[in-house]
Amino acid sequence: MQTSQKQNIEIYNSLSGKKEKFTPITEGYVGMYVCGPTVYSNVHLGNVRTFMSFDMIFRYLLHIGYKVRYVRNITDAGHLENDADVGEDKITKKARLEAIEPMEIVQRYTVDFHNVLNTFNFLPPSIEPTATGHIIEQIELIQTIIDNGFGYEVNGSVYFDVHKYNQTNDYGILSKRKLEDLIHNTRELDGQSDKKNPQDFALWKKAEPTHIMRWPSPWSDGFPGWHLECTAMSTKYLGEYFDIHGGGMDLKFPHHECEIAQNKAAKGKDPVKYWMHANMLELNGARMSKSTGNYINPSELLTGKNNIMSKAYSPSVVRFFMMQASYRSVLDLTDNGLLASEKGFNRLMEAVNGLETLTPSKESSKNTKETLAILKSKFYEAMNDDFNTPILISWLFEGVTIINKIKSVNETISKDDLKDFTALIHTFVFDILGLENNSASNTGTDKLSGAVDLLIKLRQEARANKDFAMSDKIRDELAAVGINLKDGKEGTTFSTN
Ligand SMILES: [Zn+2]
């Protein structure tokens, strides 16, 4: 279901530090670039959260009718261990340690990345370019930056002249840093002696004789700097000025700051209208880190093979858990949090599946009609407010309440309203939040649910006829086989042991 109604979205722009009305550069079209993974190890759960946030944003933009070109790159060269342009290329290092080709590393972890994202039901981006596939574009970009006076060559490497750039531009505009403070806080590291200033960053690095990943260039056989690839690929596919650039909060500085500087130095303009940053994922209140052991990877979380969680969690439960927080908040992954999300997710799915078994009446009751209209506008309102998924989910649970009321015949719904309401719920739950109905394929569960709903109705009729012996008998015998009925304000629901 795609809406024909125009939505007014507000997006929190990291550049201005406030929510702004979203107006795409070209009406009807959105260009979105998200910094992808460096494929030298298994994808981190924190990265999964970042990419999931942008997957949800991509899904919503598509739903409200935009033609979206979503570019998410693969960094398969040039990402050094240290942001100060020292240390080894991450992929080369891993290849050396494992005594295999760098491209074997790239292949292995690109496949892992795609597998993990498929497990979590991600939509593929429109284009997934690689750094090594765009070396020519990067060399051309470096040449332009040199020609414009913002890059200089030393011993076969090329650096970006941050001080020169800052004379006419604002280096630090995105991360709200001042060059003077950076100068004050930068330690001089070994291996930086080629640079005019420690704040300068590499556009091209000359390869050491042992460095396998190397390409010829006007300056040396070498490889491009990490920041450069995103400028080259984003502008190649989205134009010199595009709508949305996203990434994890940790990329704001220096990576995204450098992207702005490179684009302004090369093309004379800001590359991005809206900068969006997804916040960090913590584990039990602390930063996730392999070295401290406070770490869990996606497959450990999904299989339950770990010492941190009490059980395995399904991909949709993990997705639901992540969607229960705003993409801009720090999210703390805990066993209790996941258990609560699992309960909530099951309750939501039970209600969504229950929609199929509702019997329409001739007309919708007044309350049903009013509630459905409110829900529809609240769903959109939540998503239009900077993609506020936790608020959306709280309104979805208002939807669960009305579904249960209709189920227990406290309210009625007409055939047409049921059809519209089912489409609306499916759109937000499956198409936009990207959840999967784990029990839908399990027809046994559906049949059970249908049978129990029938017994609930019979019990209600018995109570209406004051046949309490029959009503209790139904409840007790269901309990004896592990099906517990719960009478609430919104009607009777059931759960299984
Ligand atoms: Zn990037």
Give the pLDDT score at 65: 96
CATH classification of the domain holding 407: 1.20.120
CA of 238 to the centre of ligand 1 (A): 14
Domain count of the chain? Answer: 2
CATH classification of the domain holding 216: 3.40.50.620
Contact present, 354 and 453 (Cβ < 8 Å): yes
Give the pLDDT score at 4: 55
Residue 397 maps to a domain: yes
CA of 15 to the centre of ligand 1 (A): 16
CA of 291 to the centre of ligand 1 (A): 25
In this predicted structure, the answer to whether residue 87 has a pLDDT above a threshold of 80 is: no
For residue 243, how many other CB atoms are within 10 A of its CB?
Answer: 24
CA distances from 113 to 103, 201, 301, 429 (A): 15, 28, 15, 24
pLDDT tens-digit map of 230-279: 999 999 999 999 999 999 999 999 999 999 999 999 999 999 999 999 99
Reported confidence tier of residue 1, pLDDT bands at 50, 70, 90: low
Give the pLDDT score at 443: 45
pLDDT tens-digit map of 331-388: 999 999 999 999 999 999 999 999 999 999 999 999 999 999 999 999 999 999 999 9
The answer on 352 and 268 residing in a single domain is no
The helix (run of H) or strand (run of E) holding residue 494 is strand 491-496
CA of 269 to the centre of ligand 1 (A): 18
Residue 313 maps to a domain: no
The answer on 72 and 221 residing in a single domain is yes
The answer on 347 and 274 residing in a single domain is no
Cα separation, 21 vs 87, whole angstroms:
42
Reported confidence tier of residue 93, pLDDT bands at 50, 70, 90: confident
CA of 356 to the centre of ligand 1 (A): 44
Give the pLDDT score at 84: 64
The answer on 355 and 269 residing in a single domain is no
CA of 73 to the centre of ligand 1 (A): 8
Contact present, 385 and 391 (Cβ < 8 Å): yes
CA of 466 to the centre of ligand 1 (A): 68
CA of 237 to the centre of ligand 1 (A): 14
Give the pLDDT score at 481: 85
Which alpha helices (H) appear in 41-195, and where do they start and end? 45-63, 90-98, 102-119, 135-147, 162-168, 179-185
User: Which span out of 4-13, 82-91, 483-492 was modeled with the highest average pLDDT?
Assistant: 4-13
CA of 154 to the centre of ligand 1 (A): 25
Cα separation, 356 vs 298, whole angstroms:
33
Reported confidence tier of residue 446, pLDDT bands at 50, 70, 90: low
The answer on 210 and 82 residing in a single domain is yes
CA of 31 to the centre of ligand 1 (A): 15
In this predicted structure, the answer to whether residue 441 has a pLDDT above a threshold of 50 is: no
In this predicted structure, the answer to whether residue 192 has a pLDDT above a threshold of 60 is: no
Q: How many helices (H) and strands (E) does the chain have?
A: 16, 15
Average pLDDT over residues 420-428: 98
Give the pLDDT score at 305: 94
Cα separation, 173 vs 253, whole angstroms:
10
In this predicted structure, the answer to whether residue 56 has a pLDDT above a threshold of 80 is: yes
Residue type, 425: I
CA of 227 to the centre of ligand 1 (A): 6
For every residue of 105-128, DSSP letters joined together read HHHHHHHHHHHHHHHTTPPPPSB-
Average pLDDT over residues 423-438: 95
Q: Picking from 117-126, 331-340, 405-414, which range would have the lowest pLDDT averaged per residue?
A: 405-414
Residue 320 maps to a domain: no
CA distances from 62 to 258, 315, 351, 437 (A): 30, 23, 26, 21
Q: E-strand spans in 339-488?
A: 483-488
CA of 127 to the centre of ligand 1 (A): 14
In this predicted structure, the answer to whether residue 106 has a pLDDT above a threshold of 70 is: yes
For tokens 């916040």, the residue is 279
CA of 21 to the centre of ligand 1 (A): 25
CA of 112 to the centre of ligand 1 (A): 20
CA of 263 to the centre of ligand 1 (A): 13
Residue 329 maps to a domain: no
CA of 128 to the centre of ligand 1 (A): 12
Give me the percent of the chain exceeding a pLDDT of 70. Answer: 94
Give the pLDDT score at 491: 76
Average pLDDT over residues 290-309: 93
Give me the percent of the chain exceeding a pLDDT of 90. Answer: 73
The answer on 258 and 362 residing in a single domain is no
Residue 262 maps to a domain: yes
Give the pLDDT score at 463: 87
**Of the residues 421, 441, 461, which one is the last residue of a structural domain?**
441
The answer on 352 and 269 residing in a single domain is no
Give the pLDDT score at 442: 44
Which residue(s) pair with 483 in the sheet?
Answer: 496
pLDDT tens-digit map of 6-43: 899 999 999 999 999 999 999 999 999 999 999 988 89
452 or 121, which is more confident: 121
Q: Picking from 84-98, 103-117, 194-208, 434-448, which range would have the lowest pLDDT averaged per residue?
A: 434-448
151 or 178, which is more confident: 151
In this predicted structure, the answer to whether residue 228 has a pLDDT above a threshold of 60 is: yes
**Of the residues 278, 301, 335, which one is the last residue of a structural domain?**
278
For residue 362, how many other CB atoms are within 10 A of its CB?
Answer: 7
Residue 189 maps to a domain: yes
CA of 256 to the centre of ligand 1 (A): 7
Give the pLDDT score at 2: 61
Contact present, 179 and 146 (Cβ < 8 Å): no
The answer on 354 and 225 residing in a single domain is no
Residue 302 maps to a domain: no
**Of the residues 246, 278, 310, which one is the last residue of a structural domain?**
278
CA of 235 to the centre of ligand 1 (A): 12
Residue 200 maps to a domain: yes
The answer on 242 and 109 residing in a single domain is yes
Reported confidence tier of residue 193, pLDDT bands at 50, 70, 90: low
Q: Which domain holds residue 62?
A: 10-278
379 or 496, which is more confident: 379
The answer on 350 and 246 residing in a single domain is no
